[in-house]
Amino acid sequence: MDITQQYLLDTYRARQHGEPVPPAPGSRDLQVVRAWRDRRRFRAVLAGRPATGRLRRALRRRSPSARPRATG
């Protein structure tokens, strides 16, 4: 049974019992990612580290396109 079938079954059961319908799969993903990011930034500030741009800087350092190319 995949996630969509499980959701449809849960929705059917909830309606049969007069309970609120569960949220659709994936409907709160963006909200969860934002909360996770905010929590990481908050912890960084409490630890005395910069709160923004750490991941982007790390990826840029490791990217092959960011390294200076040898000419000649």
For 33-61, the DSSP string reads: HHHHHHHHHHHHHHTTS--SSHHHHHHHH
Per-residue pLDDT of 17-64, as tens digits, reads 999 999 888 888 899 999 998 898 889 888 887 766 666 677 777 777
Domain ranges of the chain: 1-47
SS3 63: coil
Does pTM surpass 0.75? no
Per-residue pLDDT tens over the stretch 3-22: 899 999 999 999 999 999 99
What does the alpha-carbon distance between residue 48 and residue 41 come to, in Å, rounded to a whole number?
A: 11
